[in-house]
């Protein structure tokens, strides 16, 4: 049984604030596919908000069964508060996943240096999850991986991929070196990717497009790897670069 919410009700006002400024430990998930994925992955849904049109969806009973509380919201009101430009009438509130710290004993990890665009960060997490990375480490200054745009950009992979926030390059490199691993920077110069054969555990340092890696991060690396480009293209989107590097290591 759902509760219908009025436009000026306290709960909707509070939800609007929570969407604009995420509460610690809480994640807002927007969209039918993503909410269906939460159910499929057995991730608890604390609150579910539906428009009347979405409530008629064949999946709506499944979403509602998985939620602690269900609320119905008018289409116009939902469109006004939804975090996406093209809302689908479905919004869920769940909890931020918790992962143990990566041991650095095996596998490949990505360290992101001030990647501030949420869509890019989400796409990197999606690539890391799909291409078998062990974890993604985020430097101070990175976008919030659990903000609505990053969640959408990851296609929900932020719930499936171990993440660690506020990790400096020095801390990440120290952890790798304690396990006998290698640290590799990425940039316009270095070992061509076709010749690159790092040993695991391995940490790949990635900087935001444009800014690149901070010099102090590059100094921590054992070497640098570069993706050779054609037609005078100077750089790749950081998410694309991450996917190419991870796929290369799967061969």
Q: Crossing angle, helix 118-130 and helix 238-250, to 10 degrees?
A: 10
Secondary structure (3-state) at 170: helix
Q: From first to last of its 251 residues, what are the pLDDT tens digits of the chain? A: 578 777 777 898 999 999 989 999 999 999 999 999 999 999 999 999 999 999 999 999 999 999 999 999 999 999 999 998 889 999 999 999 999 999 888 999 999 999 999 999 999 999 999 999 999 999 999 999 999 999 999 999 999 999 999 999 999 999 999 999 999 999 888 999 999 999 999 999 999 877 789 999 999 999 999 999 899 888 889 999 999 999 999 87
Compute the distance between CA of residue 183 and CA of residue 26 in angstroms, rounded to an integer. Answer: 33
Helix (H) / strand (E) containing 70: strand 67-72
> In Å, how far are 125, 161, 246 from 130, measured between CA atoms?
9, 9, 10
> What's the CATH number of domain 3-95, 3.30.420.270, 3.30.1330.30, 3.90.1150.10, 3.10.180.10?
3.30.1330.30
What are the structural domain ranges in the chain? Answer: 3-95, 108-250
Read off the pTM.
Answer: 0.93
CB atoms within 10 A of CB 168: 16
Q: Give the tokens for residue 226.
A: 């570069």
Quick check: 146 and 96 in contact, CB under 8 A?
A: yes
Compute the C-alpha angle 201/204/207, nearest 5°. Answer: 165
| Tokens 């999606």 found at | 126
Please, which residues have CB within 8 angstroms of residue 246's CB and are 6 or more apart in sequence? Answer: 108, 110, 127, 128, 131, 132, 133
Question: CA 240 from chain center: how many Å?
Answer: 14
| Burial category of 171 from C-beta neighbours within 10 Å (exposed 0-12, middle 13-18, buried 19 and up) | middle
Quick check: 171 and 146 in contact, CB under 8 A?
A: no
Please, which residues have CB within 8 angstroms of residue 75's CB and are 6 or more apart in sequence? Answer: 51, 52, 53, 89
CATH of domain 108-250: 3.40.1280.10
């Amino acid at each position: 049984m759902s509760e219908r919410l009025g436009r000026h009700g306290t709960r909707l006002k509070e939800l609007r604030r929570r969407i604009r400024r995420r509460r610690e430990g809480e994640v807002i998930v927007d969209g039918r596919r993503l909410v269906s994925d939460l159910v499929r992955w057995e991730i608890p849904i604390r609150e579910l908000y539906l428009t009347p049109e979405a409530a008629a969806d064949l999946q709506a009973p499944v979403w509602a069964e998985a939620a602690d509380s269900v609320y119905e919201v008018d289409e116009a009101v939902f469109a006004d508060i939804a975090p996406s430009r093209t809302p689908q009438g479905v919004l869920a509130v769940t909890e931020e996943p918790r992962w143990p710290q990566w041991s650095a004993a095996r596998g490949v990890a990505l360290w992101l240096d001030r990647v501030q665009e949420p869509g890019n960060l989400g796409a990197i997490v999606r690539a890391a999850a799909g291409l078998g990375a062990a974890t993604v480490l985020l430097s101070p200054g990175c976008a919030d991986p659990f903000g609505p745009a990053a969640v959408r950009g990851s296609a929900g992979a932020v719930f499936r991929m171990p993440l660690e926030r506020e990790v400096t390059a020095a801390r990440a490199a120290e952890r790798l070196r304690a396990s006998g691993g290698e640290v590799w920077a990425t940039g316009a110069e270095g070992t061509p990717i076709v010749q690159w054969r790092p040993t695991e555990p391995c940490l790949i340092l990635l900087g935001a497009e444009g800014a690149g890696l901070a010099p102090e991060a590059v100094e921590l690396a054992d070497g640098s790897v570069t993706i050779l480009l054609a037609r005078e293209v100077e750089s790749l989107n950081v998410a694309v670069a991450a996917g190419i590097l991870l796929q290369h290591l799967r061969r």
